[in-house]
Structure 1
């Protein structure tokens, strides 16, 4: 993980607002203590289930939600889906196993990535900063294992949606699904990085996707990239 970035001066110095969601009080307390010690992060609320999480998002308008996936009343997958649909918050799924089916469900629901509950303290803070910057929190290797395990056969409806993309946009979408950065994609396609960024923006807009994580899931479920391929 990269080292924490310096907090800028002025209005942009507002702390990153975080909501912690977990049905275990000890877990919530531990996460709260770690994050509250960071000068650029403020914990604005806690919740013990999905319903409470949705209420807390409405009340506190967090930038990032740390979301446990297995909870009573309303699980983290459905809570993620509702929060993503109704707010600007980025959701990070908290899990014990990196290839859990629940993780795949959370990514499909709109989570910006996931984090293992036993990750080091510095990784937790860095994860919050990463998703707040609009970046995905998902390694290519783990993405491939998740898709190999859980991606279903290509959906005809999604396959037909690919028709809105230009051939170049398809190439860029494949690169995203393979875990390539914009710079790596630019080198592979012999174009400028700014051009790749423009294509990524166009792909997300045309397909109605929130971010690169959803683009990865879409690429696999539309059959553009095959599990195990």
Structure 2
């Protein structure tokens, strides 16, 4: 309950007015994606995934992205995947320097997670960025994480969360990639790796066809649950400028 209360306070605080050098400069950007997969033969599988992102840019130095995703999948007509993920990462930037806060919530039927809460903060650095949205950036946050599993067990750990973000565009093609490495600070053999990359072929300024690859590995989960999961999906995306 303590973690859920802190998370709600963090997300609620993002709705309050934020002081900036130019209070009248506010930009809101939205992007959404629908994708899916169907296979039959050796294994009958259906998968549906949707993700959404809203970013508030205020003044010259403040940003507040909120991202959410939902995944639903069946194998041989049995539910295997039902995952919710919500992250809020408000940040302050000046030049190439970033300072992030994070509040996160997760559910995962595949990995046996009833509820997971995350809170943290830390610095980041953009090695490259330009006006076209191309970027190479690294950040490292210290996070406190509480996980409640479907088998009734729970664990609370402190982690280091290192993120590599790459975004590149060329004409009608856009590539985006995000990789997280999150070891337990008290036991580095306990770690989690997540990766998501997307290649978009834009056929209008706002609509695109996308191919998305996601991978998750977590080495400490309830017995009988798979440690890793890989998905490749094709779908459509919409975004505002």
Q: Same fold (TM over 0.5)?
A: no
More helix by share: 1
TM-score after normalising by structure 2? 0.23
TM-score after normalising by structure 1? 0.24
Greater length-normalized contact order (CA 8 Å, ≥ 6 residues apart): 1
More strand by share: 2
